[in-house]
Amino acid sequence: MSAQSETRRIGGRKPRVVISAASLERFEGLAEDAMARQPDLAKRLIDELARARIVSDAKLPDNVVAMGRPATYREEPTAQEKTVTAVSPEEADIAQGRMSVFTPIGIALLGLAEGASFQWEA
């Protein structure tokens, strides 16, 4: 699975996001718990969840970034590729390639299909 990202959000249409119903509950709880501590990040997650297409776990496509799945993304303009596995914040260890879904890039990648490209602000 790979996704492309750029470091500036200029506007335009955002790529589609697909999330499993089981993950939706988990992400909503994560955002709710973080609202007092990190309101900007919590709001960003809530916004992504609001625009996501929710599917059953069985119908979540294999080529979509999801918890526990490795994903490779490329940052432009450096073309540097990174492979990470999306995990809960308490399991995160970037040195081991385990990226929290509750980080700016974790939220941006969540639910994207392989080949998706987007612009975002770091």
Give the tens place of pLDDT for each residue, 58-97: 999 999 999 999 999 888 778 889 999 999 999 999 999 9
Lookup: tokens for 73: 């993304």
Residue 10 has pLDDT above 80, yes or no: no
Which of 72, 65, 63 has its CA nearest to residue 19? 65
Per-residue confidence band for 43, with pLDDT thresholds at 50, 70 and 90: very high
Q: What pTM, to 2 d.p., does this model score?
A: 0.81
Tell me how far apart the terminal alpha carbons of the chain are, to the nearest angstrom. 22
HSE, side-chain direction, 13 A CA sphere, residue 12: 10
In one-letter notation, the amino acid at residue 51 is R
Give percent helix, percent strand, percent coil of the chain, each to the nearest 5.
35, 30, 35
